[in-house]
């Protein structure tokens, strides 16, 4: 067996195929999934990737660097979203990649890096690209700036939890669009941001001053959580976006509805859609963190 080599291993998995077979019928669903897989393959190869194999509704691709994998992942999302819908069903893809030692043998790939990339992919949702914090640290600064740290997860085959990062490609318009590398921004602005904490409701619009959240009674939104800093975070309007900036000791935990929780440590994040902001600890179904969380909604 040949010696290991370093690669970035990427899994891209088409989502929603089970429902598609049920609603569109076997023949139409099979043709649509094939079109998705052909699109993923072509996009990967155009991005310097080596397609190893197809696994059901997924493709396994090797890239020389983590940067190449990250850019290809962004292009894959764009290409799949551009495909026409089949009836009422639109297509999505969930992607994960990991860089490390890989054994190539007889046209296939093996090793811990391959296994970890696959297991990370199990935590991704449609429209997401996930990687480990270890791999994210290998990205170029421009690309790494779009990596948002998530909470650690237990991965099968690993004794210690794996720190996940989401590579934001479109959903957060504050970061460069990785698919183009042109420095243009993908816009997803909101007209107003509504925040609720207990009986208090605060609305931000164009021209509003920054909102300060923290334990200090002088903050616009004062919270009492002992893990919150006196001036924990600020939210300000930048162009057509609402940006949250963490200033705290224990971090700001942001949960956007339908996505994994994001942890910010002296970092910024564009708020989008609807979600919750927790201070110094993870959002919980109930208890202090839930009671002290600020709920927000971006309104067009």
pLDDT tens for 155-200 read 887 888 899 999 887 544 333 344 444 333 333 445 899 999 999 9
Residue 177's pLDDT is 45
Contact 214, 230 (CB under 8 A): yes
Cα 89 to Cα 18: distance, rounded to the nearest angstrom: 11
User: In whole numbers, what is the pLDDT of the chain averaged over residues?
Assistant: 84
| Confidence band for 8, pLDDT divided at 50, 70 and 90 | very high
Q: Kindly tell me if the per-residue pLDDT of 31 is higher than 80.
A: yes
| Confidence band for 2, pLDDT divided at 50, 70 and 90 | low
Which is more confidently placed, 206 or 106? 106
Share of the chain above pLDDT 90, in %: 48
How large is the average pLDDT for residues 193-213? Answer: 90
Residue 195's pLDDT is 96
Nearest Cα to 264, choosing from 277, 221, 242? 277
Q: What is the pTM of this model?
A: 0.62
Residue 43's pLDDT is 92
pLDDT tens for 44-96 read 998 889 999 999 889 999 999 999 999 999 999 988 888 887 776 778 899 99
Q: Kindly tell me if the per-residue pLDDT of 154 is higher than 90.
A: no
**Which CATH topology does 5-167 take?**
Alpha-Beta Plaits (3.30.70)
The alpha-helical segments, DSSP class H, found in 25-172 are: 26-46, 66-81, 112-121, 133-136, 141-144
| Confidence band for 108, pLDDT divided at 50, 70 and 90 | very high
Residue 111's pLDDT is 94
Q: Kindly tell me if the per-residue pLDDT of 27 is higher than 90.
A: no
> Per-domain residue ranges for the chain?
5-167, 192-299
Query: Which CATH architecture describes the domain 192-299?
Result: Sandwich (2.60)
Residue 197's pLDDT is 94
């Amino acid at each position: 067996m040949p010696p290991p080599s370093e690669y970035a291993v990427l899994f891209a998995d088409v989502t929603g195929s089970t429902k598609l077979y049920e609603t569109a019928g076997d023949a139409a669903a099979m043709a649509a999934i094939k079109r998705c897989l052909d699109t993923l393959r072509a996009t990967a190869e155009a991005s310097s990737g080596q397609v190893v194999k197809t696994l059901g509704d997924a493709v396994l691709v090797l890239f020389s660097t983590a940067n190449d994998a990250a850019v290809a992942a962004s292009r894959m999302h764009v290409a799949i979203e551009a495909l026409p819908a089949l009836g009422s069903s639109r297509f999505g893809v969930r992607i994960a990649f990991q860089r490390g030692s890989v054994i190539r043998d007889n046209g296939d790939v093996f090793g811990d890096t391959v296994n970890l990339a696959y297991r990370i992919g199990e935590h991704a949702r449609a429209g997401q690209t996930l990687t480990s914090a270890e791999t994210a640290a290998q990205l170029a600064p421009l690309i790494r700036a779009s990596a948002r740290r998530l909470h650690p997860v237990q991965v099968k085959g690993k004794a210690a939890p794996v720190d996940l990062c989401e590579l934001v490609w479109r959903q957060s318009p504050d970061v460069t669009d990785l698919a183009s590398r042109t420095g243009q921004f993908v816009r997803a602005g909101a007209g107003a941001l509504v925040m609720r904490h207990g009986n208090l409701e605060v609305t931000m619009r164009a021209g509003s001053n920054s909102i300060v959240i923290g334990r200090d009674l002088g903050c616009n939104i004062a919270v009492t959580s002992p893990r919150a800093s006196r001036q924990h975070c600020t939210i300000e309007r930048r162009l057509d976006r609402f940006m949250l900036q963490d200033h705290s000791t224990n971090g700001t935990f942001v949960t956007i509805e339908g996505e994994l929780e994001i942890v910010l440590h002296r970092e910024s994040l564009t708020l989008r859609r609807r979600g919750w902001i927790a201070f110094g600890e993870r959002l919980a179904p109930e208890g202090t963190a839930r009671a002290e969380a600020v709920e927000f909604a971006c309104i067009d």
